[in-house]
Amino acid sequence: MTCAMARWLGCPAAPAGITHRMNYPYAMQWLGVAGGLAHAAPVQLSMPMMFVYGKRKPFMFHSRRWLAQLETQPTNAVLGLPCGHWVMLDQPTQLHAAMLQWLAPSTAP
């Protein structure tokens, strides 16, 4: 089932490397395995974060609230690219440019 889903989603990994163990986060989210994700501790970021995601995924693991929370900090960056889950494969040029820009030293005092 895992390999079939990976094929359907266009996963670039070799089928031999795809196993049932990759389903654990989905089982936590959808089936409540190990208590699910509803009781996960809130994330308190102590450093800047760049969050990049593909906008054309069948489902997201983040919420609009999460994006809004990240965007409240001027040192963070949030970028949705027009691609699926594998941003680094589908949009490498855009991803690398955004990362270099975000990592560039600031000229602000």
CA dihedral 77, 66, 68, 72 (to 10 degrees): -60
pLDDT at residue 108 in the model: 59
pTM above 0.75, yes or no: no
Whole-number Å distance between alpha carbons of 51 and 47 = 13
Q: What mean pLDDT is reported for the chain?
A: 86
Whole-number Å distance between alpha carbons of 96 and 98 = 5
How many Cβ atoms are within 10 Å of 62's Cβ, its own excluded?
A: 11
- Which is nearest to 12 in space by CA: 82, 94, 80, 86? 86
pLDDT at residue 77 in the model: 96
- Chain mean position to CA 26: 14
Q: How confident is the model at residue 50 (pLDDT cuts 50, 70, 90)?
A: very high
The least confident of 15-24, 53-62, 78-87, 90-99 is 15-24
Give the mean model confidence (pLDDT) for residues 35-61. Answer: 86
Whole-number Å distance between alpha carbons of 100 and 31 = 39
Break the chain into its structural domains and give their ranges.
Answer: 1-40, 41-109
pLDDT at residue 9 in the model: 75
Task: Kindly state the percentage of the chain with pLDDT values over 70.
Answer: 97
pLDDT at residue 107 in the model: 64
